[in-house]
Amino acid sequence: MTLLLAGDIGGTKTILNLVEATTQKSRAGAVLKTLYESRYISADFPDLVPMVQKFLAEAASQLGDVPFPQKACFAIAGPVVGGTSKLTNLSWSLEVHRLSEALEIPHISLINDFEAVGYGVLGLEPSDLRTLQTGQPRPDAPIAVIGAGTGLGEGFIIHQGGEYRVYGSEGGHADFAPRTPLEFQLLRYLIERHGLERVSTERVVSGQGIVSIYQFLRDRNICEETPEIAAAIQTWRQEIGSSEKTIDPGAVIGKAALEKRDPLSEQTLQMFVELYGAEAGNLALKLLPYGGMYVAGGIAPKILPLLTDGRFLSAFGSKGRMSPLLELVPLHIVLNPKVGLIGAALRATRL
């Protein structure tokens, strides 16, 4: 057994987890047992070091005499280059060697938060998933991960050298490929509205994408806008560039769509789900992930009824003469919000 420290570090909150890991011959490579977990407001600390020191002191107080962790992995909401990271929405600059010395933990790794999700899907239980298509799983085939949230993450996992290895990508920034007359209109709308030369898929398949689709349908007079949603959008526009944000317009639109109380929001989410499914299908065509495709990210669990009504799966598999290939891909929605934390712990076991 090995004692590990795992962390999921975001600009708003950070979750730290003290984990006991036991090596096991499985896809995950280890069984994890949480000993102590705590959540902190990231901005309350000038750096990760004092936060971890506080966490370890609290853990010792609760658990008594426990061994000090020898390995740690932190999932970062931002790019990680050469063992260093500057968080996108937090004034922290992290570096592996400094953290190792300050915390007296010999082995530390920093990984991007979506890479952590990739490791995390290896350790999920069946209850953590909602399967949209069972497909025909192949144990040694590639695994694909896609996740819409603030942006659009895409990655893949391959079986190599007796273990699974996770690779990130910038696939979310590939060109948006419209399929229908309405989607072509959306592309033109975004180019003209924002003065763009090209539109990435992330601009339509993300939280911001929900807002963009809503504005497009509203401005094309597809449906009449309700005062409630109009007020939310107006507040959001006024808060752009401010550190004090009180509203998430994508979440407001999604909630109204789920509750079926705003036709414009409902049409927005229908279009979003189709675009999301189509992009998942594009990724599947490139990788043929017969080891499974996992739809993660913060949005999916919140709109689960809209992802499971057949629209997402139809768009996923609608690839012309290649459609039969995608019928073989196991397709799952990730429900566990701590998949990144699980991934950080599993990555730590390999240090």
Task: Please indicate, yes or no, whether residues 343 and 308 belong to a single structural domain of this protein.
Answer: no
Q: Give me Rg for the CA atoms of the chain.
A: 21
CATH number for 284:
3.40.367.20
Task: Please indicate, yes or no, whether residues 288 and 263 belong to a single structural domain of this protein.
Answer: yes
**Is position 145 within any domain?**
no
Task: Please indicate, yes or no, whether residues 280 and 200 belong to a single structural domain of this protein.
Answer: yes
d(CA 158, CA 331): 17
Task: Please indicate, yes or no, whether residues 342 and 324 belong to a single structural domain of this protein.
Answer: no
- Domain residue limits at 103: 2-124+337-348
Element holding 331 (H helix, E strand)? strand 331-334
For residue 243, what pLDDT is reported? 64
Residues ≥6 apart with Cβ < 8 Å to 320: none
Task: Please indicate, yes or no, whether residues 330 and 341 belong to a single structural domain of this protein.
Answer: no
**Is position 152 within any domain?**
no
**Is position 136 within any domain?**
no
Kindly report whether the global pTM for this prediction surpasses the value 0.85. yes
Task: Please indicate, yes or no, whether residues 293 and 343 belong to a single structural domain of this protein.
Answer: no
Domain count, the chain: 2
Q: How high is the mean pLDDT in each 10-residue block of the chain (351 residues)?
A: 91 91 83 94 92 93 84 90 82 92 94 93 95 95 95 93 88 95 97 95 96 95 88 86 79 94 95 98 98 96 96 97 97 96 94 89
Task: Please indicate, yes or no, whether residues 6 and 75 belong to a single structural domain of this protein.
Answer: yes
**Is position 221 within any domain?**
yes
Task: Please indicate, yes or no, whether residues 103 and 179 belong to a single structural domain of this protein.
Answer: no
For residue 269, what pLDDT is reported? 97
**Is position 61 within any domain?**
yes
**Is position 293 within any domain?**
yes
**Is position 184 within any domain?**
yes
Task: Please indicate, yes or no, whether residues 109 and 180 belong to a single structural domain of this protein.
Answer: no
Residue 131: strand, helix, or coil: strand
For residue 252, what pLDDT is reported? 93
CATH number for 81:
3.30.420.40
Collect contacts of 266-271 with beta carbons under 8 A, ≥24 apart: 267/217, 267/222, 267/223, 268/210, 268/213, 268/214, 268/217, 269/210, 269/303, 269/306, 270/306, 270/311, 271/182, 271/183, 271/186, 271/213, 271/217
Task: Please indicate, yes or no, whether residues 175 and 82 belong to a single structural domain of this protein.
Answer: no
CA distances from 238 to 98, 232, 316 (A): 40, 10, 36
CA distances from 335 to 26, 152, 237, 274, 326 (A): 21, 17, 31, 20, 22
**Is position 185 within any domain?**
yes
Task: Please indicate, yes or no, whether residues 342 and 316 belong to a single structural domain of this protein.
Answer: no
For residue 137, what pLDDT is reported? 96
Sheet holding 331-334, edge to edge: 129-133, 331-334, 293-296, 143-148, 152-160, 163-168
Task: Please indicate, yes or no, whether residues 201 and 322 belong to a single structural domain of this protein.
Answer: yes
d(CA 160, CA 140): 9
